[in-house]
Amino acid sequence: MAGAIIENMSTKKLVIVGVILLLFQAFSFMVGGLIAPSPTTAVHYLATKCVDTVKTHHKDSKWFMPWGPDQCSKIRDFDEATAKRIEANNIVFAVHIPLPNREMSPWFQFMLVILQFDIAFKMQNQIEDGSLVTMDVGLAYRDSTLSEWTEMAHSTEHRKLSCNFTATMTYENEGRYYECDLLPFMEVGSVAHKYYLLNIRLPVNERKKVNIGIGEIKDIRLVSIHQNGGFTKVWFAMKTFLTPSVLIIMIWYWRRITQMTRPPVLLEKIIFALGISMTFINIPVEWFSVGFNWTWMLLFGDIRQGIFYAMLLSFWIIFCGEHLMDQTERNHFSVYWKQVGPIVFGSFCLFIFDMCERGVQLKNPFYSIWASDVGTELAMAFIIVAGICACLYFLFLCFMVFQVFRNISGKRSSLPAMTKARRLHYEGLIFRFKFLMLVTLACAAMTISCQLNRFLHDMSFAFFTGIYGMWNLYVFALMFLYAPSHKRYGDEQSTDQAGNSGEDIQLTTTITHVDGPTEIYKMTGKEAQE
């Protein structure tokens, strides 16, 4: 009876397949390292102080431009405002994105803006503990330098200051600046327009304690981060190329399974689900975001990645279970609820966290769950719970892998009693199980390193394309190597070998057959016979 392709491949063929996959892996790294630029670009802006001469500015829809033919009336600093008797409520901080003589592009995909205050130390106006800055912010866009600005979003936002004054708080040090942390300000999931304009007001209301105790704000600095157009084009090209590749192997894999006389087993289903999730990631729906304002694209991308990683973690639990559980148990998904439960619950927590952050940003790009104490605690709670679930899963998986290796080691004494062909084949199966585990660990380590580098904003494009190509090759290899083989050992082996050994030549590790446990399962599982 036929097993999986990997079980019937010679070592030479397996090495050839491995070399081909390694070449494709190296090519995916080279694509990012040699062709494309860095993934993102950061542009620094200093807000211009515009003067709103209209007393009823809260009812006016006028937008203040920092430069150009319709630029606003400006002041250099707040000392000039004091000399001209201009109130703080009549000052608007204006920032035009991008810089003069440039324009934004839908190829930039997203725009993340970080804010930092320049606050001078004054003995009579110090920053109070736990002080909040209240901002009346507006975002507008246009696609021509001659057209009117169209409002995109408007909101009243609060940000908690976290500043430290490194010098001694004395009159001699007045005018020196606090060291303040960067604050999340805005995130737009689609750069569908050429020009954007930010207007920021810092309203002061002593009676309501609005913007009291925040120090003497001198300037507002912004850092705008967007994806590079060259990065986007190469990234989309990779997704467009890989989508049919994985889709074709997935269809081929499922056809091989349906051609069998038995129904598909659980491991075959989870490998197919893993292929579907990889295809779901690969489908280049981002092409449509180049021409349309699809602000939900970031959230959609996070959901797709979450589904893939959940399927990948579930695959390894079931793969290990194939070597440990009885024939009637290992083909039921409910048997793995203790191991898969943490995956589902942890993924759900991260989904809720993502909805609380990016979901709200679909309507209000200035919103950040980290901006308030309650939001920060809630976000940390979701992340901690997801981390605990990940640890529980890791412990479950380590225990199952340990059991598999213990069973393999304990039954090695059965190998000398087998024929040479069977012994070599079983040794090859053990080696391939270890090899697959090591490859998975290497892929996981590279992915974790990739995510850490991304968190630290120190990420090269070679990592992005390399990791992305790596998981595609991993899924491709799984569906190819673990597809049912049409090779039948019973027809090829000489009858005298089978008769002399009295062994049933059925060579399968992970694919369950309807006629009972396989030989390798008997050697490594609970039903192993001495």
CATH of 40-227, one of 3.30.70, 2.60.120, 3.10.450, 1.10.3720: 2.60.120
Mean pLDDT of 225-240: 89
At residue 293, the pLDDT reads 62
Q: Would the pLDDT of 254 be above 90? A: yes
Write down the CATH number for the domain with range 2-38+230-488: 1.20.1070
Cα angle 504, 509, 510; round to 5: 130
pLDDT in tens, 113-145: 999 999 999 998 899 888 899 999 999 999 998
- Bridge partners (DSSP) listed for residue 155: 137
The token pair at 511 is 């694919």
Q: Is 313 helix (H, G, I), strand (E, B) or coil?
A: helix
* d(C-alpha 469, C-alpha 462), whole Å: 10
- H helices of 263-334, in order, are 266-282, 286-289, 297-321
Q: Would the pLDDT of 490 be above 70? A: no
Amino acid in the structure at residue 301:
G
Q: Would the pLDDT of 450 be above 80? A: no
At residue 516, the pLDDT reads 41
Overall pTM surpassing 0.85 (yes/no): no
Give the closest residue to 386 by CA, choosing from 313, 463, 441, 304. Answer: 313
Q: Would the pLDDT of 109 be above 60? A: yes
* Percent of the chain residues past pLDDT 90, beyond the cut: 29
pLDDT in tens, 329-344: 667 778 888 888 888 8
Q: Would the pLDDT of 429 be above 50? A: yes
Amino acid in the structure at residue 224:
S
Residues of the chain with CATH 1.20.1070: 2-38+230-488
Mean pLDDT of 30-45: 83
> What stretch of H or E contains 225?
strand 216-227
At residue 506, the pLDDT reads 35
- Bridge partners (DSSP) listed for residue 56: none
At residue 207, the pLDDT reads 86
Q: How confident is the model at residue 527 (pLDDT cuts 50, 70, 90)?
A: very low
Out of 7-16, 147-156, 302-311, give the one with best mean pLDDT.
Answer: 147-156
Going 88 to 91 to 94 to 100, the CA torsion angle's sign is: negative
Alpha carbon separation from 189 to 227, 258, 359 (Å, rounded): 11, 42, 11
Q: Is 216 helix (H, G, I), strand (E, B) or coil?
A: strand
The token pair at 323 is 């070597």
Residues of the chain with CATH 2.60.120: 40-227
Q: Would the pLDDT of 151 be above 90? A: yes
At residue 424, the pLDDT reads 67
Edge to edge, the sheet with strand 40-46 lists 40-46, 216-227, 111-120, 183-188
Q: Is 511 helix (H, G, I), strand (E, B) or coil?
A: coil
Q: Would the pLDDT of 146 be above 70? A: yes
pLDDT in tens, 325-380: 675 666 777 888 888 888 889 989 888 888 888 888 888 999 988 888 888 898 89
Q: How many CB atoms lie within 10 A of CB 108?
A: 23
The token pair at 18 is 């491995």
Q: Is 439 helix (H, G, I), strand (E, B) or coil?
A: helix
Task: Tell me the residue length of the chain.
Answer: 530
Q: How confident is the model at residue 520 (pLDDT cuts 50, 70, 90)?
A: very low
At residue 323, the pLDDT reads 67
* d(C-alpha 26, C-alpha 20), whole Å: 10
The token pair at 302 is 């996070």
- Residues with Cβ within 8 Å of residue 444, at least 6 apart in sequence: none
Torsion of Cα atoms, 457 then 369 then 306 then 36, to 10°: -30
At residue 329, the pLDDT reads 64
